[in-house]
Structure 1
Amino acid sequence: MIVISKEFGFIYVTTNKINGKKYIGKCIYGRVNNWENYLGSGVYLKRAIKKYGKENFERKIICNAYSEEELNELEEYYLNYFDVVNSTEYYNIKITSIGGDIFTFHPNKEAIRKQRVKQMTGEGNHQFGKPKTNKMIESVKKANSKHIIIDDVHYESVTSASDQLKIGISTINYRLNSDNFPAYKRVMPKKELKINGYPCKVGNQVFDSITEAAKHYGISTHAMRYRMNSQNFPDHILLNQK
């Protein structure tokens, strides 16, 4: 059983109440400056706050982390999940947990920059106020309805476990995908997780599996899977697919 200690930090999303644009980041509770009022430090976010005023931004904590490692992995998970660097719905321009600033050398750097400038000078976001489609809602419900096991206790769904353990659904899903929480297991693993056993190549070195490569470089299997499918890491190759 994993012993959970005091919260180390949290993942948050800051939203511009005027145009709906967002920023995802991390913060530690022991921050020197007041963490309670912290909105983020992104370049474009700061410019937006200066333009619209702090009163037009609100921050919501997505989930807590109990160590620096978990905090970094959670940040990486959410930044990748929402594809914030390529999305025009976010102020983020880098993914810090998987190699720093990837905006500088991004192949579509200028197009992204122009789009962000255009949105920051406008009054609205094309997604703001739009309701979620039935397909999106059903997809989330299906993903959260699969049986899981936590600390040898069987739960009928992620939602059920969240209600009983008082842990956020997003946090549980992260832990199910993380090697750092072996007590969190899916009864029927997602198909995408099967690629962890595929051989891969990083640079000139070949590994028998993604899991082995992740352990070698000291990162999560989720991060390694992301790199295998990202154009930003051309030297990361999934041998049976690329």
Structure 2
Amino acid sequence: MTTAANTPTSTDPAPDFDVPDVYRIENISVKEGMPLVVDMTRSVYPHEQVYGQYCSIQDFIDAPPDEVYEYLSNTLSLEEWTYSLRGFEKTETPGLWISDDRIGKRPGAVPTKIYTRTVANPEARTVDYHCAWDQGEHLWMIYLMRVIDAQLVLDKPGSVVLWTNCHHPFYDKNPFPQAAPEGRPVWVGDFWDLFYAGHVLELRNLKAICEHRHAKGQPITPDWMQQDGRKE
């Protein structure tokens, strides 16, 4: 039975627990811990250490967060701000789109098809693009994005956009080779080491589009995206 006498209060110390490799002020002093964090701090970091398993980028956009979120949550926006996704069309599966990824195309060859489903949450302003080359049954390439009100985190109007990709094992080897167009010389995972630079370029595209339209008093999401018959 819990009584007032043994009910924990905010001033009670954290309960004891025996979990290895957990660093807390109860078991390691600031003096003891400082050499650990200094040792983990470098002036230069290897690319693999920073972007090997996860690729995260971020930027400030001088435009309202709700409008930036609305734009990103519309799958057709990918035709504008991404480098190579073009020609979006609805598939027979509700919410699933197909388009060309022109980065995977040789002149005269069959283009690489990419499938996309957009999963968005307006309350958290998260927009996740679930994608895959060649087939739409297993969408394993997940682009995780979040739009944050810059007033909360930078004390100024605008948006902060966070974008993360995780290195799924399928990047290392195509699990659906039978679905690939004949003669394609590359696999999407061949570009993983360039994801950081490529995504920075695309995030700059997003920033430029949003800031340009907002500065001119135009809707960030253009009318054609709202009215296009392809939109769900």
Same fold (TM over 0.5): no
**Larger Rg belongs to:** 2
Return the TM-score normalized by structure 1: 0.27
Structure with the larger helix share: 1
Return the TM-score normalized by structure 2: 0.28
